[in-house]
Amino acid sequence: MTRPPAPPRFPVALDRMHGRARPAASQTLRPQAPLQHAAQTAAQHASGRATPSGLGLDSAAVRQRMVQRLRADGVRNDAVLNAFAAVERHRFVDSALAIQAYEDTSLPIGLSQTISKPSVVARMLCLLGDGATARQQGQLGRVLEIGTGCGYQAALLALLGRSVVSIERLKGLHDKARENLVGHRHVDLRLVYGDGRLGHAPRAPYDSIVAAAGGEDLPQAWLDQLAVGGRLVAPMQDAARGGQVLLVVDRQPEGLVRQWHDAVHFVPLKSGAA
Ligand code: SAH
């Protein structure tokens, strides 16, 4: 005898709501691509057609599912995966978008900026973790982040580094990140308002430098502030490829060594503060 289908249960667990299409390996990583999707969901919420709230967004199980997807995609760094399991991404985005917080999508954070997709953030953190100092110490050491945004990646970095300085050029986002990070337990996290192209000399040198915005060139200050054994990961325009790529720079005792990795699509690195 076959059993009758189970009646639908509401609310539906968040981790059962969305299937996931895996991007083709060669596809450009686009942290901003699903903005339109996010806007549609926000509109649905506004019109009352979306799934009701209260879906257990604070559930560790939902985050764990995101971590499983990252692992299935090849993320092998346990410290990075543990950080993703620990930080509540939905608390860093607008409540109308919280339902999408654990999908592999970028989301708007205001002032025309976006929080990157988890898979892109994981890729950058893993590249940083492969740096010489991080390999020796088992963590990212002294970290400099350019582009605090909503503070999500800063919260991850704070679990992976010994100390973190994160710079944001937009006052509105700097203030928002400060609010979002209240109550987070951090060893040593300093949020700085200013032009990240200048780095942050008072706390240099850094073992790990990561930029969340992409420029045409690599600011000299970042190279000057990179410790020997340290690694820098930044999206950068690559004239030869005609697009942005992730650039990795290692400061070895003999000098700087550059490697170009995945094609990406980050918001622009701008000059000055606003
Ligand atoms: N890591 C962020 C992502 C932010 S998006 C997060 O987890 O939310 C990139 C950010 O870089 C934007 O907030 C943008 O304002 C900022 N940015 C761009 N140019 C900058 C600069 N020169 N200095 C500091 N921040 C910059």
Centroid of ligand 1 to alpha carbon of 233 (angstroms): 14
Task: Say yes or no: CB of residue 149 within 6 Å of ligand 1.
Answer: yes
* Cis previous bond, 11, omega within 30: yes
Share above pLDDT 90 across residues of the chain, in percent, rounded to a whole number: 72
In this prediction, residue 48 carries a pLDDT of: 34
Average pLDDT, the chain: 84
* Phi and psi torsions of 158, nearest 5°: -65, -20
Residues facing 257 on adjacent strands: 250
Centroid of ligand 1 to alpha carbon of 155 (angstroms): 14
More confident residue, 18 or 48: 18
In this prediction, residue 21 carries a pLDDT of: 38
Lowest-pLDDT range of 62-76, 152-166, 172-186: 172-186
In this prediction, residue 239 carries a pLDDT of: 86
Task: Say yes or no: CB of residue 147 within 6 Å of ligand 1.
Answer: yes
Residues 6 or more apart whose Cβ sits within 8 Å of residue 193? 167, 168, 169, 171, 174, 273
In this prediction, residue 185 carries a pLDDT of: 67
What tokens does 150 get?
Answer: 């909503």
Give CA–CA dist 136/133, Å, rounded.
Answer: 5
The per-residue b/e assignment along 5-37, b for 16 or more CB within 10 angstroms, e otherwise, is: eeeeeeeeebbeeeeeeeeeeeeebbbbbbbee
Give CA–CA dist 118/130, Å, rounded.
Answer: 18
Centroid of ligand 1 to alpha carbon of 170 (angstroms): 8
**For ligand 1, atom 11, which residue shows the shortest CA distance?**
147
Q: Where are the beta strands (DSSP E) in the chain?
A: 107-110, 113-115, 142-146, 163-168, 189-193, 206-211, 226-238, 243-252, 255-264
Centroid of ligand 1 to alpha carbon of 167 (angstroms): 8
Lowest-pLDDT range of 34-48, 116-130, 134-148, 221-235: 34-48
> Could you tell me the pLDDT band of residue 71, with boundaries at 50, 70 and 90?
very high
In this prediction, residue 58 carries a pLDDT of: 55
Lowest-pLDDT range of 1-5, 25-29, 176-180: 1-5
H or E stretch at 40: helix 35-47
> Could you tell me the pLDDT band of residue 14, with boundaries at 50, 70 and 90?
very low
Task: Say yes or no: CB of residue 234 within 6 Å of ligand 1.
Answer: no
What mean pLDDT do residues 60-64 have? 91
Give CA–CA dist 118/141, Å, rounded.
Answer: 22
3-state secondary structure of 172: helix
Ligand 1 atom at shortest distance from the alpha carbon of 270: 19
In this prediction, residue 186 carries a pLDDT of: 66
* Phi and psi torsions of 55, nearest 5°: -95, 20
Site to probe by mutation for ligand 1, drawn from 107, 145, 169 as the one with most ligand atoms within 8 Å of Cβ, is 169
Task: Say yes or no: CB of residue 150 within 6 Å of ligand 1.
Answer: yes
**For ligand 1, atom 19, which residue shows the shortest CA distance?**
269
**For ligand 1, atom 13, which residue shows the shortest CA distance?**
149
Sequence length of the chain is 274
First to last CA, the chain: 68
What are the Cα distances from residue 40, in Å, to 6, 23, 197, 265? 31, 21, 34, 21
Ligand 1 atom at shortest distance from the alpha carbon of 195: 23
Identify the CA nearest to 101 among candidates 114, 92, 110: 92
What mean pLDDT do residues 239-262 have? 94
CATH superfamily entry for domain 30-41+55-263: Vaccinia Virus protein VP39 (3.40.50.150)
Centroid of ligand 1 to alpha carbon of 169 (angstroms): 7
In this prediction, residue 38 carries a pLDDT of: 47
Per-residue pLDDT of 119-171, as tens digits, reads 999 999 999 999 999 989 999 999 999 999 999 999 999 999 999 999 999 99
What are the Cα distances from residue 148, in Å, to 2, 16, 103, 192, 206? 55, 31, 21, 9, 16
In this prediction, residue 31 carries a pLDDT of: 58
